[in-house]
């Protein structure tokens, strides 16, 4: 089955072609990051308009790359949510329109399920069951994955997502959006011993997260350094380091607990923050210590992309699922 995947939930237009026999045939991405950078975050209306401009050319691009035409498609999958409603509707309407014209099935999939299954596109894919840490700009969740569609939420953030915290801390340091990669780069020059930030919600049992207090702590630390005239380049790097270390340490502690509580020996880490090098190093170490194994998507499939949607959609379409006649855009949708 050849499935076209469409991702338009936020600020990346992602399109890919997945063949259930041959694997991933092609994928293409257009990032709107530069367009939103001036505003310090994603502007929903601009995002929707840009998806409208980019989506059809990207679909032609992936079909061309795979040497296929629209008539060669057996199904279409799109991100139905969660995300920005206008942005989601561009993908949903395009998918439904094309599927109707071609007479093929169409299915709206959950964005986080896409992230969750993204490591399945790698040569060394994990088998079910596993524990997944989903860390993106909108979500921080620990999920026990027993099989396709069999997800048990173990814990999640009660306020900000980890990626959102990275983005906000970056803004405080005058860095561009999205802030995760900028903080990570700056942190490499930081002194890990100069500042120590709290590891929220690690002093009590449980698998939930909270990152909003860490954000306030970061702002206070920056203001104190500023007030004493000490906020130079080195101090900014030290703040970035202390912040990254606190988020990473918190995520590692909760992953350890989730593996203990579930008895699983495979850990999948996905979503934008899974691109973080320090997080990967620490999780590798943690897994090696306990005879477990960590799995990640390749770099460009950590952040939003069409390949993960094509893959997740193909699995569900193969299982016989289809959308009814009306398209779906579900801005808030639990996994
Ligand atoms: O999954 P994603 O592309 O979009 C959402 O579904 O939210 O995740 C984007 C998030 C942003 O908050 C970004 O700052 C963060 O992932 N991110 C990182 C890194 N690369 C991206 N955070 C920390 N370190 C990174 N290297
Ligand atoms: Zn995402």
Q: What is the mean pLDDT of residues 309-328?
A: 94
Residues 59 and 180 in one domain: no
Site of tokens 């855009």:
329
* pLDDT-derived band at 37, boundaries 50, 70, 90: confident
Please tell me whether residues 64 and 160 are part of one structural domain. Answer: no
Domain range for 84: 2-117+301-318
Which one of 161, 164, 169, 178 would you pick to mutate in the ligand 1 pocket, going by the greatest count of ligand atoms within 8 A of its CB? 178
Over pLDDT 70: what percentage of the chain?
A: 100
CA of 228 to the centre of ligand 2 (A): 39
137 annotated to bind ligand: yes
User: For residue 97, is it within any domain?
Assistant: yes
Are residue 139 and residue 264 in the same domain, yes or no?
A: yes
Residue 95's contacts (CB-CB under 8 Å, 6 or more residues apart) are 4, 6, 76, 77, 78, 106, 108, 327
Is the ipTM beyond the 0.85 threshold? yes
Instruction: Give the residue, 195 or 34, on which the prediction is more confident.
Output: 195
CB 254 within 8 A of CB 207: yes
Whether 327 maps to a domain, the answer reads: no
The per-residue pLDDT for 330 is: 92
Q: How far apart are CA 276 and CA 13, in angstroms?
A: 22
Is 335 a member of any domain? no
Beta bridge mates, 142: 133, 155
Q: How far apart are CA 327 and CA 78, in angstroms?
A: 10
Number of domains within the chain: 2
Average pLDDT over residues 226-246: 98
Q: Identify the residue with better confidence: 122 or 324.
A: 122
Rounded Cα distance between 24 and 18, Å, is 4
| Cβ of 81 below 6 Å from ligand 1 | no
CATH of the domain at 310: 3.30.420.40
How far apart, in whole angstroms, are the C-alpha atoms of residue 256 and residue 164? 23
Instruction: Examine the domain organization and report whether 160 and 30 are in the same domain.
Output: no
Q: What pLDDT, on a 0 to 100 scale, did the predictor assign at position 144?
A: 98
One domain, residues 152 and 287: yes
Q: Is the CB of 83 under 6 A from ligand 1?
A: no
Per-residue pLDDT at 325 exceeds 90? no
Arithmetic mean of pLDDT, 28-56: 94
Among the listed ranges 39-48, 52-61, 100-109, 165-174, which one has the minimum average pLDDT value? 39-48
Asked whether the predicted pLDDT for residue 162 surpasses 90, the reply is yes
Give me ligand 1 centre to Cα 155, in Å: 19
Structure tokens, 161: 């997502």
* Residue count of the chain: 335
326 has a pLDDT exceeding 90: no
Q: Residue 126 has which token pair? A: 């994990």
Q: Is 43 buried (19+), middle (13-18) or exposed (0-12) by CB count in 10 A?
A: middle
Do 30 and 62 reside in the same domain of the chain? yes
Q: Are 164 and 41 part of one and the same domain? A: no
pLDDT at 259: 98
pLDDT, averaged across the chain: 96
- Closest ligand 1 atom number to CA of residue 112: 6
Do 10 and 37 fall into the same domain? yes
Query: Rounded to whole angstroms, how far apart are CA atoms 27 and 18?
Result: 9
Q: Where are the alpha helices (DSSP H) in 178-334?
A: 180-187, 212-227, 233-262, 277-289, 306-318
- Output the pLDDT for position 81: 97
At residue 41, the pLDDT reads 84
Residue matched to tokens 């950078």: 37
Residue 281: φ, ψ to 5°:
-55, -50
For range 152-160, the mean pLDDT: 97
User: Of 129, 118, 66, 58, whose CA–CA distance to 275 is shortest?
Assistant: 118
Establish if 153 belongs to a structural domain.
yes
CA of 275 from ligand 1 middle (Å) equals 7
Q: Is the CB of 181 under 6 A from ligand 1?
A: yes
Separation between Cα atoms, residue 18 and residue 312, nearest integer Å: 10
**Claim to verify: residue 82 and residue 136 sit in the same structural domain:** no
Is pLDDT above 90 for 324?
A: no
Whether pTM exceeds 0.90:
yes
Q: How confident is the model at residue 328 (pLDDT cuts 50, 70, 90)?
A: confident
């Amino acid at each position: 089955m050849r499935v076209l995947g469409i991702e338009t939930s936020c600020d990346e237009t992602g399109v890919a072609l997945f063949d259930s026999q041959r694997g991933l045939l092609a994928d293409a991405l257009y990032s709107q990051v530069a367009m939103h950078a001036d505003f310090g975050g994603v502007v929903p209306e601009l995002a929707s308009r840009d998806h409208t401009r980019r989506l059809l050319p990207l679909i032609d691009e992936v079909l061309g790359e795979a040497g296929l035409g629209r008539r060669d498609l057996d199904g279409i999958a799109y991100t139905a949510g969660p995300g920005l409603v206008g942005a989601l509707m561009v993908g949903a309407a395009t998918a439904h329109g094309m599927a109707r014209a071609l007479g093929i099935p169409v299915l709206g999939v959950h964005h986080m399920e896409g992230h969750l299954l993204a490591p399945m596109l790698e040569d060394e894919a994990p088998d079910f069951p596993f524990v997944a840490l989903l860390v993106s700009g909108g979500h921080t969740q620990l999920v026990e994955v027993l099989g396709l569609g069999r997800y048990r939420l173990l814990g999640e953030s009660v306020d900000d997502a980890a990626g959102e915290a990275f983005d906000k801390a970056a803004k405080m340091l005058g860095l561009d959006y999205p802030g995760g990669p900028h903080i990570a780069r700056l942190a490499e020059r930081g002194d890990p011993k100069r500042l120590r930030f709290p590891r929220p919600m690690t002093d009590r049992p449980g698998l939930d997260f909270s990152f909003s207090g860490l954000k306030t702590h970061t702002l206070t630390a920056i203001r104190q350094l500023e007030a004493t005239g000490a906020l130079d380049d080195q101090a900014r790097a030290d703040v970035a380091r202390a912040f990254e270390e606190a988020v990473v340490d918190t995520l590692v502690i909760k992953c350890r607990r989730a593996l203990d509580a579930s008895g699983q020996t495979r850990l999948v880490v996905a979503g934008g923050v899974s691109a973080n090098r320090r997080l990967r190093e620490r999780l590798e170490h943690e897994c090696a210590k306990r005879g477990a194994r960590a799995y990640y998507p390749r770099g460009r499939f950590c952040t939003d992309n069409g390949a993960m949607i094509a893959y997740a959609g193909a699995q569900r379409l193969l299982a016989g699922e289809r959308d009814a006649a009306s398209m779906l855009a579900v801005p808030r949708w639990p996994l």
